[in-house]
Structure 1
Amino acid sequence: MPHQEIYAHFHPDERAFVDRAWEWVERAAERHETKRTDFLDPRQAHILFALANRHPDAAVRLDGGSADAERQRALIAPDYRPLEDEDMGIAVLEIASGDRRVSELDHGDYLGALLGLGIKRDKIGDLHVRPDGCHALIAEEIGDFLVGHMKQAHRVDVSVSVLPLSALKEVRPQLEEQTISVASLRLDGIASDAFRLSRTKIVDPIRAGRCRVNWKTEEDPSTPLRAGDIVSMKGFGRFKVMEIEGVSKSGRTRVRIGKFV
């Protein structure tokens, strides 16, 4: 178990993951074991790296199947073991359909179909959605199960097959950009404009722990945002602070944001 001072750097909700990650690091450094994780979100990856940096005898490699992958699997091993050529156990699940309605499906439809089969979110990496279907990065060990069981995505009949990583058709996230004018750079002020909610309606979800800034739970509505920050709110979506453009003559701050679509 990590020393108590380590916990001070993380949110209480993250304590269970900190415990697991520290165990992986200790086993690699002290017992010479190698651990391949499921897919981690960027916050979990940050925690794992922070913990590994505290132990000089452990090394970590991250890979999500593409250069800009958001969700990645990790290899934790003794520092003397080369990790570059280790198999990360990632495959591409091709989801296709002859139904014209497939072009209407979005990220949530495909993810919901996968989770609806009882698959844990940790087994699924990034999803690359195209008008004719989707390439989902998955832990290779669930490929056969999905081929045998996934028949629909949001009431659209689909066929699935497992492909090697080299076949991935990567789709970069699209951002719907807009410039907003805010009194300050507070989280609640920018989020209320981004999600088109009143300030009073945005505060309660933040205080209830439904908001994350850079994948870390943020419960303080007054937290200032900076360029590059990514804010997600359960039930509403997420946006990125693209640029702080300056202050108007009236004293309000112009902020360019990009909503993930």
Structure 2
Amino acid sequence: MTRLEIYDHFHPDEKAFVDRAWEWVERAAERHETKRTDFLDPRQAHILFTLANRAPDAQVLLVGGSEQAERKRALIAPDYRSLEQEDAGIAVLDISSDDRRISELDHGDYLGALLGLGIKRDKIGDLHVSDEGCHALIAEEIGDFLVGHMKQAHRVDVSVSIRPLSELRESKIALEEQTISVASMRLDGIASDVFRMSRTKILAPIKAGRCRVSWKPVEDPSHPLKAGDVVSMKGFGRFKVIDVEGVSKSGRIRVRIGKFV
């Protein structure tokens, strides 16, 4: 399959990642090289596996630090290598504070503090937030930098240290559930209800490329959603279509939504 034929299977915005992933796969299959990637989101992991399936001499292993991890590092290698014992290079950044306001911080506060230090998003895995602070999964190579430079999270003084994966304090994903009634499963209709915006106002971020459905860029407001889809809108938040519960006598669809909090 040619490179152009590969592009046909993916969104144009994904071209740069497809190019990198295909190079990783080719190097593993043809040059017998092993590659450890940064953290990938589920869509990027899907693309990588799709490409690796076209190269029978390459294999991929994903490691996220926990069973339910959303973001994972990938190990790409020739098919004869054993990857189970390979080091994925993931550490736990323990962020804590003596300030009682630490219990009020959320996922966005911690992520913003990390990115504010110039750390790229792909060096950070899942964040496990609790009342005591946050355990952030990070690429081990940035650990020393963060220990030396991270002093605050949303105006709360913090201290940070590096822990082994065995000490990870996992937190369950919190979803604020609601049931909405919609005329159709269109993206714009459901998103406007969830984010409590008019249908007119929700069109702009979608058409501007700020929306992803199950981590895939979607710019079509009429894109149909289905159970299991995760919708993220930059600047607004994320929600999951938990279930489509049926159709009322008036023909409207009952949809159970979980908004990430």
Shorter-normalised TM range:
over 0.9
User: Contact conserved, 1:2 with 1:22, CA < 8 A, in 2?
Assistant: no
Q: Distance in 1 between matches of 2:189 and 2:110?
A: 32
**TM-score relative to the length of structure 2:** 0.99
Who is 1:223 aligned against? 223
CA RMSD between the two structures? 0.9
Which secondary structure state, in structure 1, belongs to the residue aligned with residue 14 of structure 2?
helix
State the one-letter code of the partner of 1:33: E
| Divergent runs of 4+, >3 A | none
Who is 1:213 aligned against? 213
- Give the drift of 1:246: 0.5
- Give the drift of 1:216: 0.3
Who is 1:251 aligned against? 251
State the one-letter code of the partner of 1:84: E
- Give the drift of 1:182: 0.2
Who is 1:70 aligned against? 70
Structure 1 unaligned residues grouped into runs of 5+: none
Who is 1:58 aligned against? 58
**TM-score relative to the length of structure 1:** 0.99
- Give the drift of 1:223: 1.0
- Give the drift of 1:2: 5.3
State yes or no: 1:89 paired with 2:108. no
Q: Distance in 2 between matches of 1:178 and 1:158?
A: 35
Report matched runs for 1:1-261 at 5 Å: 3-261=3-261
Q: Distance in 2 between matches of 1:256 and 1:163?
A: 38
- Give the drift of 1:172: 1.4
Q: Distance in 2 between matches of 1:102 and 1:52?
A: 43
Which secondary structure state, in structure 1, belongs to the residue aligned with residue 170 of structure 2?
coil
Which secondary structure state, in structure 1, belongs to the residue aligned with residue 144 of structure 2?
helix
State the one-letter code of the partner of 2:150: M
Which secondary structure state, in structure 2, belongs to the residue aligned with residue 190 of structure 1?
helix
User: Contact conserved, 1:2 with 1:19, CA < 8 A, in 2?
Assistant: no
Q: Distance in 1 between matches of 2:2 and 2:170?
A: 38
- Give the drift of 1:132: 1.1
User: Contact conserved, 1:192 with 1:202, CA < 8 A, in 2?
Assistant: yes
